[in-house]
Amino acid sequence: MKKLFQNGLLIILSLAAGYTGLEYFLFPALLDRVPLKLHFAVKEEIRVLTQSSKDSVVPERYLALFGDSYSQGYGDWLLDADPDANSPYHSAHVLHDLSGRDVITFGKSGSGSLSGLVGHPVRWLDYIRQSRLSSLPDPGEILVYFYEGNDLNDNLEDLKTRYIERNYDPAKVYDPAYFRSFIEKEVVGTSPFKNPDWTDLFFFTDFLQRTLKARDNNKSTLIASENVSPGEGKVNRAIIGGKERPIPDGLQSPALELTSGELHLTVYIFEQALKYMKERFQGIPIHVVYLPSVLSCYEIVSPYVSIQNYQKSRESTYPSYLVHQRGEQIATMVRSIAEQEKLDFIDARPALRALGQKQVFHGPKDWKHYNKDGYTALARAIHGQL
């Protein structure tokens, strides 16, 4: 009986030691080997360490991408990537190949300027540093992806839900000091470790639980949800490859549905987020990369355009000449802000429009984002100006 007890205890201790090794040593060392289909199961705050556009789990002197789903890499390249591998799928991977540098993205789908430039980068960096995983350094260089297609709409939504609905003074929105205090409290917030729970200590256990729960619920494990091709539109037409052809309706535009007042307000939010980010990452080279909306990438020849409307009860069809006019207006404003802050401005429009003269580089499934050709052209345009 004594020997049986000893053997049982030995087995338990061996299993405990093995699991401890997995939790504290093996899993952290293999984060960049997690396949794409399981990235969702890694705690969001440490998920940047799973990215494969770097040479090791913890990057060194890395180039960081800040922004939304374009920075994150949504699109057909991701949808078509091998889910059982940690395959390349967006501009970060192309930049890594072109430059030989580690590249990681702090981008997240649906982010406006507040979360994309400040909230996610600052909080995720702080979280990783306060965790047991690593002392992830600040980036060596930063690319801020400004997307013409919905960043300003996202900023307007943020203003409603995070500023107005939380009783901040609308009359003080243009007061930089007041708005900065709002960013400090509502966007940066308190330390992510102020109220830790077990998932902040046992990352592998949390990973297993999320994986098993998703399997039990038949949850999709894709980073981005699968999209169905929208097909040919009835309104939008463009010249591509020397021929006039229909492209889908309901495409993202340079915020055509926003009023002039909303346009200036939402660009101001970008400006304040950029200023805060610049101060937080003081001394680090920052480049503002201007990405055109879908409709701005092609030579539109239809008299009207059908847009994706982010504002309820507003028109979804506009004269096509407004695409160029509004796009130029936004680009001029963003460029001016970058220059005032003494930051480099990289305009990706010429390279992407040149590609759009020859071929479609959105979709065919996800027409909100670039495919492999689009992300490759974007990365090459950026690399050529770094």
Question: What pLDDT, on the 0 to 100 scale, is given for residue 29?
Answer: 92
Q: Give the predicted TM-score (pTM) of the model.
A: 0.93
d(CA 110, CA 154): 7
Question: What pLDDT, on the 0 to 100 scale, is given for residue 273?
Answer: 98
Amino acid occupying residue 258: L
324 contacts 253 by C-beta, under 8 angstroms: no
Strand 103-105, strand 63-66: pairing: parallel
Beta bridge partners of 104: 64
Question: What pLDDT, on the 0 to 100 scale, is given for residue 135?
Answer: 85
User: Averaged over 40-47, what is the pLDDT?
Assistant: 94
User: Averaged over 79-95, what is the pLDDT?
Assistant: 95
Question: What pLDDT, on the 0 to 100 scale, is given for residue 21?
Answer: 79
* Structure tokens that stand for 238 in this block: 């463009």
134 contacts 128 by C-beta, under 8 angstroms: yes
The pLDDT mean for the chain works out to 92
Per DSSP, the residues of 339-385 read HHTT-EEEE-HHHHHHHHHH---B-SS-TTSB-HHHHHHHHHHHHTT
User: Averaged over 292-307, what is the pLDDT?
Assistant: 98
351 contacts 381 by C-beta, under 8 angstroms: yes
Question: What pLDDT, on the 0 to 100 scale, is given for residue 33?
Answer: 96
Query: Dihedral of CA 220/222/224/225: which sign?
Result: negative
Question: What pLDDT, on the 0 to 100 scale, is given for residue 226?
Answer: 60
The torsion angle over the Cα atoms of residues 259, 261, 267 and 272, rounded to 10 degrees, is: -150
Residues present in the chain in total = 386
d(CA 137, CA 215): 35
Question: What pLDDT, on the 0 to 100 scale, is given for residue 350?
Answer: 98
* Structure tokens that stand for 81 in this block: 């990537």
% of the chain residues with pLDDT over 90: 81
Question: What pLDDT, on the 0 to 100 scale, is given for residue 13?
Answer: 64
Question: What pLDDT, on the 0 to 100 scale, is given for residue 227?
Answer: 64
Model confidence at 309: pLDDT above 70:
yes
- Closest Cα partner for 210 from 10, 40, 4? 40
DSSP conformation class of 136:
P
pLDDT in tens, 339-359: 999 999 999 999 999 999 999
34-383 has CATH 3.30.70.20 classification: no
% of the chain residues with pLDDT over 70: 91
Question: What pLDDT, on the 0 to 100 scale, is given for residue 198?
Answer: 76
Question: What pLDDT, on the 0 to 100 scale, is given for residue 8?
Answer: 59
Query: CA 362, 365, 371: angle at the middle one, nearest 5?
Result: 35
Query: Dihedral of CA 160/162/168/169: which sign?
Result: negative
pLDDT in tens, 199-233: 888 899 999 999 998 876 555 455 556 666 778 88
Band of pLDDT at residue 7, cut at 50, 70 and 90:
low
Model confidence at 177: pLDDT above 80:
yes
pLDDT in tens, 228-287: 677 888 999 999 999 999 999 999 999 999 999 999 999 999 999 999 999 999 999 999
